[in-house]
Structures are given as structure tokens and as C-alpha cells.
């Protein structure tokens, strides 16, 4: 598995269901609530969501935004959208498979473009940002969040360290490389500028807590519910359960054997067209 190859962006098979069942409440829900609250304060008639995944932000937006705001939610991975539509939303949403680097929408179609924890997966971030700018109306808002460095996200860091011990000659580095690999504000601002965003960029650090009823839950979440599973399978598919157990044990040693609680941290980035 080569760094940055398509496997880093593949969410298929059992991953979408596991992702939504375990990872969404574990780490994504608090930041979805945060983004929706920010967006509810903005005047808008049309909103586009990129990399919607299984719809955690979409569901919050459907609850928080006025019915007059049309919501279009997209993702590159159709299996993730299938999971999102199966769960549903509190009001109608337009779901569409789309590549963020080549959006199938006309210029100036939206007042707001939002992306939760998705830009890290875009192979050409400046191009994706240029597409977001293209479909935004003048004065429209582009708002994203990205995970901070992995050391600030305790469950992910613990899982990565545990798997490095299990596969010392070729440690699975997906979590550090991709989800937690795009946290430098200067780099993000450069990519936004390359995408045509010339106004001031606002970067805010948002911390939250990740809670689970047992160490087993985040162990399954990371090893089964992300492309990290592909990295484990590439090394030895027969050791998947061993990987889960290794991560579970590491989490238990650090956080306890019953309900556990760990720090998460992300950056929220806002810029106007």
C-alpha cells in the first residue's frame, strides 16, 4: 500500500456501516454539532456539503438550518452515501456522488460550502478548493474542519502506536498520514490561496472529548471502520482480530478497562469568496 494511493480513500465493504456505528459517535458527532451551529448563523438559501460520508453533518444541518435552505450532500464513495441515505434525515436532502476536485455544479450555485474531515483525503487540495470557490457565490462562505496532529488525538495516537508494535517492520501509518496529516495552518492557507481564496483565513482550534463504553469500541472503530483495515489486511489479513485486540489492550492500559475518555482536537477553517 503506497502512501496517498486510492486505498487511503476507499470506504467500501463493511467499512461504511462500522464507521457510522462506532466512529461517528466516538469522534465525529461533537464536531458536526459545532459546524452546524456555526452554519446556522449564516444567511443562506443553498448549501453544499463535500465528503459527507455517512451523513453525520448532513443530519445536523437538516435539524439546525431553516427548511428554506436547500442542502446538497456529496461524497466520492457511493457506499458511504448509501449508508447515509439508509439512515435518512429529518427533512429532504439532495444526495449526490461527486468528486470534490470536479464538482458537477454550475458556477455560483451555493452560498455555503462545508466539508467535515474530508479535505485531508483530496489528492489535489488546491484544485478541490478552486472547485469550492467556483461553485460559491460572491461573498459565500467556505468552512472546513481538519484533525489536529495525531498527538492531540489520544485514541488515534494510541491505536497507531499499538499497531506499530504489532507490525514493527512496516507499521500501518494511515491515521497519522491521512486523517491527521493535514494540520499545518500555513499549509492550509497556501492551498486555499492557490485555489483562489484571497480573503483572510480564520483558523480556530476546537477540542472535544471522545468517550466509549469500553476500549473495545474504539479498537473496532479504527481497525474495521477506516482504511486502516486495508493496511492491516495488506500486511496479514489473518491478524485483523489480533490487531483489534492489541489496540484494545493498549487503550485499556492507558485509559482503563471500563468506560474510557480521551482528548480530540481539530482545526476549523473559515474563508469567504
Grid coordinates representing 162? 499499538
- Other Cβ atoms within 10 Å of 150 Cβ, number: 22
For Cα atoms 129, 173, 1, give the angle at the middle one, nearest 5 degrees: 85
Q: What pLDDT does 73 receive?
A: 98
pLDDT of 1 reads: 34
| Residue 16, pLDDT score | 80
Domain spanning 6-272, CATH architecture:
3-Layer(aba) Sandwich (3.40)
Instruction: Please tell me whether residue 203 adopts helix, strand or coil conformation.
Output: strand
Q: Which residues contact 63 (CB under 8 A, 6 or more apart)?
A: 36, 90
- Of residues 171, 177, 121, 186, the one with CA closest to residue 150: 177
What the block records as the C-alpha cell of 230 is: 486495508
CB 39 within 8 Å of CB 143: yes
Cell numbers describing residue 102: 470536479
Strands 202-212 and 260-272: antiparallel
Average pLDDT per block of 10 residues along the chain, 273 residues long: 48 74 94 97 96 97 96 96 95 97 98 98 97 98 98 98 97 96 98 97 98 97 93 96 98 98 98 98
Amino acid at each position: 500500500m503506497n502512501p496517498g494511493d486510492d486505498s487511503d480513500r476507499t470506504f467500501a465493504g463493511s467499512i461504511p456501516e462500522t464507521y457510522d456505528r462506532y466512529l461517528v459517535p466516538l469522534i465525529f458527532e461533537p464536531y458536526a454539532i459545532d459546524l452546524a451551529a456555526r452554519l446556522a448563523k449564516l444567511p443562506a438559501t443553498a448549501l453544499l456539503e463535500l465528503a459527507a460520508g455517512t451523513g453525520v453533518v448532513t443530519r445536523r444541518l437538516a435539524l439546525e438550518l431553516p427548511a428554506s435552505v436547500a442542502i446538497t450532500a456529496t461524497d466520492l464513495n457511493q457506499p458511504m452515501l448509501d449508508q447515509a441515505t439508509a439512515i435518512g434525515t429529518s427533512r429532504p436532502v439532495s444526495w449526490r456522488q461527486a468528486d470534490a476536485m470536479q464538482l458537477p455544479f454550475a458556477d455560483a450555485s451555493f452560498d455555503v460550502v462545508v466539508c467535515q474531515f474530508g479535505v485531508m483525503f483530496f489528492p489535489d487540495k488546491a484544485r478541490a478548493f478552486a472547485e469550492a470557490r467556483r461553485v460559491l457565490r460572491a461573498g459565500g462562505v467556505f468552512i472546513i474542519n481538519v484533525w489536529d496532529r495525531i498527538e492531540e488525538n489520544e485514541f488515534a495516537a494510541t491505536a497507531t502506536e499499538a499497531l506499530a508494535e504489532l507490525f514493527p517492520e512496516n507499521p500501518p501509518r494511515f491515521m497519522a498520514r491521512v486523517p491527521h496529516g493535514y494540520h499545518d495552518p500555513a499549509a492550509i492557507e497556501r492551498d486555499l490561496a492557490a485555489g483562489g481564496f484571497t480573503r483572510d483565513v480564520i483558523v480556530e482550534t476546537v477540542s472535544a472529548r471522545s468517550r466509549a463504553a469500553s476500549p473495545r469500541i474504539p479498537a473496532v472503530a479504527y481497525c474495521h471502520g477506516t482504511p486502516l483495515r486495508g493496511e492491516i489486511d495488506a500486511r496479514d489479513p489473518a491478524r485483523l482480530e489480533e490487531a483489534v485486540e492489541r489496540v484494545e489492550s493498549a487503550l485499556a492500559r492507558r485509559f482503563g478497562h471500563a468506560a474510557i475518555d480521551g482528548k480530540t482536537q481539530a482545526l476549523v477553517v473559515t474563508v469567504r469568496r
